[in-house]
Amino acid sequence: MIVSLFSTFFLIGLFTFGGGYAMLPLIQKEVVGFHHWLTMTEFIDVVGIAEITPGPIAVNTATFVGYKIAGILGSAAATLGVVLPSLIVILLVAALFVKVKDNPYVEAAFSGMRPAVAALIASAAINILPSSITDVRSALIAIASFSLLRYTKVSPILLLLLSGALGALIY
């Protein structure tokens, strides 16, 4: 189980390009879809807590999932797994002076990868829709939150805390 946690999050960490949210579709597929370590609803909650706590959302999610599944040892395994790929890659880049920045092949590959990442994150949103929009109230909260995020500089953390407070009131 511990080894499985480590290897799963190593894979997830290895293929997370373009920011922390890019990790979500990977975690969805592996942790929820394949291993069934979390339900979709639990996955959503994990993302919420990872957003509120300090640190990159990617690492926080790994730590949380690992703990939920196998306690402290599990959280250590998952966190180590998700951090190791970037450690190794950056060391290789730095030590070997591998030119990745203006490399035309890297840029070419990323020209294809970036739109795919947008699609993958969108797919993650679509997958969590049934578990997050359960009634009219939640639909309204979602629309209001999205509008605020889109058109104001509101802090996501503040928004999450507010909607949590709202939830306590109306549910």
Partner 1 sequence: MLWELFTTFFKIGATTFGGGHAMVPIIHREVVDTHHWLTNEEMIDMIAIAEITPGPVAINTATFVGYKKQGVLGSIVATAGVVLPSFLAILAIVSLFLKIENAPVVEAIFKGMRPTILALVAWAATRIAKVTLKDGFTFAVCGTALVLVLLLKIHPVAVIGLSAAAGLVHSGYSWKKRAQNASRGKEDLQ
Q: Which of 3, 54, 96, 97 binds partner 1 (CB under 8 A)?
A: 54
- The nearest distance, CB 72 to partner 1, in angstroms, is 7
- The nearest distance, CB 3 to partner 1, in angstroms, is 19
In Å, how far from its chain's centre is CA 110?
A: 20
- The nearest distance, CB 166 to partner 1, in angstroms, is 5
18 C-beta neighbours (distance < 10 Å), count:
15
Burial status of residue 43 (CB atoms within 10 A of its CB: 0-12, 13-18, 19 or more): buried
Q: Which of 47, 69, 70, 77 binds partner 1 (CB under 8 A)?
A: 47
Nearer residue to partner 1 within complex by CB, 1 or 166: 166
End-to-end CA distance of the chain: 37
Measured CA to CA, the distance from residue 153 to residue 147 in angstroms comes to: 11
Measured CA to CA, the distance from residue 159 to residue 131 in angstroms comes to: 19
Q: Which of 59, 69, 70, 77 binds partner 1 (CB under 8 A)?
A: 59
Verify binding: residue 39, partner 1, rule CB under 8 A. Answer: no
Q: Which of 48, 69, 70, 73 binds partner 1 (CB under 8 A)?
A: 48
Verify binding: residue 136, partner 1, rule CB under 8 A. Answer: no
Residues in 16-35 at the binding interface with partner 1, rule: CB under 8 A: 16-21, 24-26, 29
**Is the torsion defined by CA of 49, 58, 133, 166 positive or negative?**
positive
Residue whose C-alpha is closest to residue 17's, from 88, 93, 109, 91? 109
Cβ proximity of 32 and 68 under 8 Å: no
Structure tokens at 63: 């730590």
Lay out the site mask for partner 1 across 74-113 (x = CB under 8 A, - = otherwise): -xx--x---x-xxx-xxx-xxx----xx--xxxxxxxxxx
Residues in 141-170 at the binding interface with partner 1, rule: CB under 8 A: 141-143, 145-146, 149-150, 155-157, 159-160, 163-170
